[in-house]
Structure 1
Amino acid sequence: MTSWTSGYVAELEYSQGVYREMAPALLRLNLLLKQADASALTGQPPSTPLRYAELGCGHGLTATMIAASHPGAEVHATDFNPAHVAGARKLAAQANLKNIQFYEHSFAEFLSADLPMFDVVALHGVYSWISEENRALIRDFLYARLKPGGVCYISYNVLPGWAPAMPMRKLMIELGEGNKAQPMATRIDDALDFIGQMQKTNAGYFKANPLAATRLEGMAKHSRNYLAHEYMNRDWNIFYHSDVARELSQAKLTFAASAHTGDHVDIVNLTVDQQQLLATLTDPAVRETVRDFCVNQQFRRDIFAKGLLRLSSQEQGVALSATRFALTVPRSSLALKAAFPVGEVNLQAEVYEPVADALAEKPKSIAEMLAVEPLKAMGYQKLLQALVILTSSGQAAPALEDKAAREAKPHCDRLNAALIERARTAADIAYLVSPVIGSGVQVDRFSQLMLLGRKQGQKDLAGFVWSVLSAQNQRILKDGKTLETPEENLAELKTREADFTAKTLPLLAYLGIA
C-alpha cells in the first residue's frame, strides 16, 4: 500500500489558524466590491441552508467557527490527517455543534462521498502543496459539487513574489532528505542553521537576492509546524494567477474578485502609472497577473464563481449600503497608519475617527452611517473606501444582521466555553468566535484565562491566571526574557488585567463574545 500522506508532511500537525477571508460575510463584501452577485452566500433559494465545504481543513478551526456563527448552515470539511480530524470532531462535540461534519478523506474519497451540492467550496493554501493528480481531483469536485452560482475561495503561493525564495526552499528539502533519521522539527532547524551559515560566507545567491536574507530571518521566527507544511512537502507548486485561472476554468469557474479586501483600493496598491498600464489590458487573467508583478505578490486569496453574474451599479449600491460593519479593535486603539504595497499609508484622522466613532456603540450599515453628520457630508464613496481600508487592516469587519447574530450567540457561546477551558492547559488556539461578524477574533491565552476566571466568579483575575500557570510550572516571557519570580509574573499579569478590563473585555462584549 502506498503512503497515505502522498508526500504531504504529516509528522507535524498544521498550526491552528482562522482564515477570516473564508467567512461568508467577508466573501460577500469582496464580491460586492467587484459588482459580482453574492447571493450564494445566503443559500439559494433563501429557504435552503447555506451549504459550505472546506477541502484540506487542517484542524478545522475556521470551519468550526463558521458552523457555530451560522447555525442554519451545513458545513462539511475534510482532511486526510486523522489527528486533525479527531481533534476537530472532539472540539465540535464539546461545543455540541450539530451542523458540521468532518471527514478523514482524501480528495478522491471526498469526491465519491454522499454529499450535497455546495454554495461555497473553500481551500486555503492547499492548491500549492499537492500533486497535479490531486489538483485535478479538486477541479473534478468543483465541477461536480459546486452549484451554478456558487463560489470557490482559493488561496495559493504565487509568482513573482516567491521567486527569490524558491531556491532556498529547494535547498531545505535536499538538506532534509539527507537527514531523514531526525524528527521533522530537527531537520528544519538543521536546514535553517546550515543556510544561515551559508549566508555568512557571503554566498552569491544572497548577494543577488537580498530579500532572501529577510525571508530567512522571518522563517527562523515561525513555528516549525508552519514551516514543515509550507516548505517541506514533496509537492510544492508556485503559480501565476493566469495558471490557476486556466486550470479552474476546466471546472467552469471564472475569477470574480480578490478575497483580500485591501486589493479593491487601487490608490494604496498601485502607482498612477501602474493603474494606467493595467487599464490597457482587457483579459482579466492577464491583468491580475500583471498586477501581481506590480505589487510583487507572493500569496493570493481569490474568489472564483461558477456562473459569474454581474450586478448593475444600482444593485451594487443597494447591497453595499445595507452591509453592516463592526469594529474589531477597541475604539481607543484605532491605528491611523497601515501597510500597503505602495508603502505605509497615513489614514486621515478627519475621515477615520468619525467612522470609528459611528461604529463604537454598535455595528451599523453604510446607510445608517450616512443618515447622520459628519458622515452624511463625507458621502458614500469616501465612507465606503474608509470601511474597506479598515477591514483590510483588521480594524473592522462586515457584520451579520442583528437577528442572525442573536441566533448564533448560544452556539458561539458553547464553542467559546470549550476554547477558554482548553486554555487552561494549551496555548495553541488564540481565537474565539464572534456571532456579530461570523468569524474568529484573535484572543490570546491570557485573555481567555481571564474570561474563564470571570465565568467562575473570580475577583482577582491576575491571581487566577497565575494559579493556572504556576501549577504547570509555566512562566511569562516578556521582551524575550522569562520572568522567573512569582512577584514578577504577578506584576505583569496585573498590568495585563488592567488592559483586559479597560480595552479587551468591552471589545469582546461588543462582538458578542463576553
Structure 2
Amino acid sequence: MPWDHGYFSSTSYTSGVYRELAPAWLDFAALLKGHQPPRSHEGEAFAYLELGSGMGLGLCLLAAAYPEGRFTGVDFQPDHIVHSRRLAQQLGLGNIQFQEADFLSLAADPGPLAAAHHYVVAHGIATWITAPIQQALLQLASAALNPGGIFYCSYNTFPGWLAASAFQHLGELARQRQGEASAAKAFQQAAASLTSLLGSEETPSALALAQPALRRRLAQIPTQNAAYLLQEYANEGWQPLYVDQLHQRGAAHKLRFHASATLPENFLELLPANVRPAVLAETDPALRQSLQDLAINQSFRRDLFLRGVAASTDSELRQRLSQIMLRLQEAPATDTYRFETSFGQVSGVPERYQQLEACLANGPRSFGQLLEETQLQLAELAKILALLLHAGRVGFDRWACADVERARHVNEQLLTLIRSGRSYAHLVAPASGGSVNFSLVEALLLDGQRRQLGGSELEQQLLEGLKALGRSIKAEPAALLSAFLERQPRLQALGVLP
C-alpha cells in the first residue's frame, strides 16, 4: 500500500489553531466530570504529544505559552514536518520537537514515546484514516499516555454528517475519474451536480426533502479553502462514526471516555427542553451519549478519554477546582448573554454573568474566590464559566507561570511572517495560556502604528500593504482601524502586545 495509506497527501493542510488543545482547558474539562488532571497544579512540568500535528502552528503556540511543557509533534507527511521544524526554529522555541513517523510503525514500537506523556491529542484525524490506521492511532495514544493521562480525540460524527456523506461519495468518484491534479475541481463539480438534484426551494426533490441540511452544506463548498476541502473529503478512510463506535474502539485500548472538551456539552441541562427528558431518562452512559448526539444532530465531537482513573473524594476535587485561576479575556460590555452551542442557543441570566465578570474586572480570581464573591453554588458557577470560556469572554490565568518576554518574541516573529504573506492568523496570549486571532489587517495596522503613522496615513499604509500581497478588503479602512484601536488594550492585558 502507498506510504499515505489512502490519506490525501498531495497538498499540505491549513495552519489551524484549536483552543481546546491547551493543557489548562483539558484539565478544566476533566475536572468538570470528576477527574483529577495529570498535573497537580498550574505551572507543573508536563509532556505533551500531538498525533497528526499538521503544519505545527498550533503546537508551536502552545510551546510558547507553556514554557514548562515538553512538546512533541508527530506527522507522516514530510512537507508538514519540514514546515513545522522551520517554524519552531524561526520562533526560537527550544521545548518542542517534530518527528516524521507513521502511526502503524509507532504503534508496533513506540520507543521513547511509551508511557511518557501527560497529554496526547489527535485533532481531526480519527475519522479521516482507514480502519488499520485508526486502530494504530488509538493503540499508540494509549501506549504514549502515563496512567491517569488525558487523550483528546476529535472526529466527525453521525447523524450530523449523513447529508454530507452523499457529497463525499460523489466527489470521491469524480476525483478517481479525473485524478489527483484535478481533485479540487472534482469536488466542486460534485457539489454542482448534487445541487442540481435538489430541485428548487419551492419544489424540492425527494433527496432535498430527505436531507434538508444538504443544500446549505453544498452552498458552502465554492467558498471553502481548497486545502481544507481536499483534506476533509478526499481521504479513502473518510468515515464519520456514531459516538458509541469510537468509544468502543477506544475502550479496546484502555481508553475510557470521560468528558467533552466542548465545555457546554458537559451540562445536559442545557439541552433543548423538548429533547432533554428523553436523554436524561437514559441511565446507560453509551446510550445516553448516543441519544444526545441524535437529539442535536451532532456532527463533530471533541472527546476526552482517560487511561486510568484515580478515585478522588468530592472535597479533593473541589479543592483542585478551586485552585484554577481565571481572568477576563476579550469581553466587550453587553446586556445580553446568548451563547451559540452544539445544543442550540443558550441564554443566561444577565445579572449572574455580569456579577462574575465584574469580579474578574478587578483582576484574575481563582475558582474558589469566585465561589465566595458570587455566592453561587459550585455546579452553577462551573456551568457559567464553561459558557463564558466557550464564548471566549473568559480565559484561564497563567500570568504567574508565563514567560512573557519569550512569548512576545514569538509574537514579533509571527507578525513578521504574517506581514510577509504567511497564512497564519494567531498570536500567543501568555496571560491565558492560549492564543488569540490576529489578522493580516491588524498586523499591517500595528506596523503602521509603530512607524508613528495615524489617521489617513495609516489607512493608506494598510491598503498599500494589502495590495503588495495581492489582497483586498471590502470594509472601510477607517472602520478596521477603529476596531483595532478598541481591541488593542485587551490584547495588551493578555500579554499579546507590549
Question: Is the pair's TM-score, using the shorter chain for normalization, greater than 0.5?
Answer: yes
Matches within 5 A, 1:328-407: 328-332=329-333, 336-341=337-342, 343-372=344-373, 375-376=374-375, 378-400=376-398, 402-405=399-402, 407=403
- Distance in 2 between the 1:106 and 1:282 partners? 39
Answer with 250-259 or 355-364: which moved more. Answer: 355-364
Q: How many correspondences in the alignment?
A: 489
Structure 2: stretches of 5+ with no match in the other structure: none
Asked if the contact 1:256–1:308 (Cα under 8 Å) also holds between the matched residues in 2, the reply is no
- Distance in 2 between the 1:110 and 1:448 partners? 40
Asked if the contact 2:324–2:367 (Cα under 8 Å) also holds between the matched residues in 1, the reply is yes
Asked if the contact 1:148–1:307 (Cα under 8 Å) also holds between the matched residues in 2, the reply is yes
Asked if the contact 2:15–2:58 (Cα under 8 Å) also holds between the matched residues in 1, the reply is no
- Distance in 2 between the 1:335 and 1:448 partners? 31
Asked if the contact 1:159–1:240 (Cα under 8 Å) also holds between the matched residues in 2, the reply is yes
Answer with 277-286 or 62-71: which moved more. Answer: 277-286
CA apart distance, 1:427: 5.5
- Distance in 1 between the 2:121 and 2:343 partners? 29
- Distance in 2 between the 1:92 and 1:361 partners? 36
Find 2:51's aligned residue among 44, 50, 55: 55
- Distance in 2 between the 1:260 and 1:404 partners? 25
- Distance in 2 between the 1:71 and 1:80 partners? 26
Asked if the contact 2:353–2:384 (Cα under 8 Å) also holds between the matched residues in 1, the reply is yes
Find 1:509's aligned residue among 480, 492, 496: 492
Answer with 314-323 or 337-346: which moved more. Answer: 337-346
Asked if the contact 1:336–1:347 (Cα under 8 Å) also holds between the matched residues in 2, the reply is yes
- Distance in 2 between the 1:161 and 1:141 partners? 28
- Distance in 1 between the 2:480 and 2:460 partners? 12
2:419 is paired with a residue of what secondary structure?
A: coil
- Distance in 2 between the 1:41 and 1:270 partners? 36
TM-score by length of 1: 0.88
Asked if the contact 2:265–2:342 (Cα under 8 Å) also holds between the matched residues in 1, the reply is no
Find 1:437's aligned residue among 421, 432, 435: 432
1:423 aligns with 2:418: yes
> Could you say which residue in structure 1 is the equivalent of 2:313?
312
Percent same amino acid at aligned positions? 27
TM-score by length of 2: 0.91
> Could you say which residue in structure 2 is the equivalent of 1:468?
465
- Distance in 1 between the 2:105 and 2:47 partners? 19
Residues 194-248 of structure 1 show CA distances to partners (whole Å, capped at 9, x for unaligned) of: 2222324754212221111122123333212111111111111221221111111
Matches within 5 A, 1:130-279: 130-180=129-179, 182-200=181-199, 202-271=204-273, 274-279=275-280
1:362 is paired with a residue of what secondary structure?
A: coil
Answer with 440-449 or 153-162: which moved more. Answer: 440-449
Matches within 5 A, 1:288-327: 288-327=289-328
> Could you say which residue in structure 2 is the equivalent of 1:500?
484
Q: Which amino acid aligns with 1:476?
A: I
CA apart distance, 1:189: 2.0
Asked if the contact 1:29–1:398 (Cα under 8 Å) also holds between the matched residues in 2, the reply is no
- Distance in 2 between the 1:456 and 1:89 partners? 32
- Distance in 2 between the 1:414 and 1:61 partners? 15
2:213 is paired with a residue of what secondary structure?
A: helix
Asked if the contact 2:197–2:207 (Cα under 8 Å) also holds between the matched residues in 1, the reply is no
2:401 is paired with a residue of what secondary structure?
A: helix
CA apart distance, 1:134: 0.8
- Distance in 2 between the 1:41 and 1:176 partners? 50
Asked if the contact 1:257–1:302 (Cα under 8 Å) also holds between the matched residues in 2, the reply is yes
1:115 aligns with 2:117: no
1:8 is paired with a residue of what secondary structure?
A: coil
Asked if the contact 1:274–1:294 (Cα under 8 Å) also holds between the matched residues in 2, the reply is yes
- Distance in 2 between the 1:319 and 1:364 partners? 14
Residues 104-139 of structure 1 show CA distances to partners (whole Å, capped at 9, x for unaligned) of: 211134443642411111001100011111112113
Residues 347-377 of structure 1 show CA distances to partners (whole Å, capped at 9, x for unaligned) of: 32211222222223533222333444xx24x
- Distance in 1 between the 2:369 and 2:461 partners? 42
Residues 7-62 of structure 1 show CA distances to partners (whole Å, capped at 9, x for unaligned) of: 1112232121111111101101111110112134769xx97x31110111111122
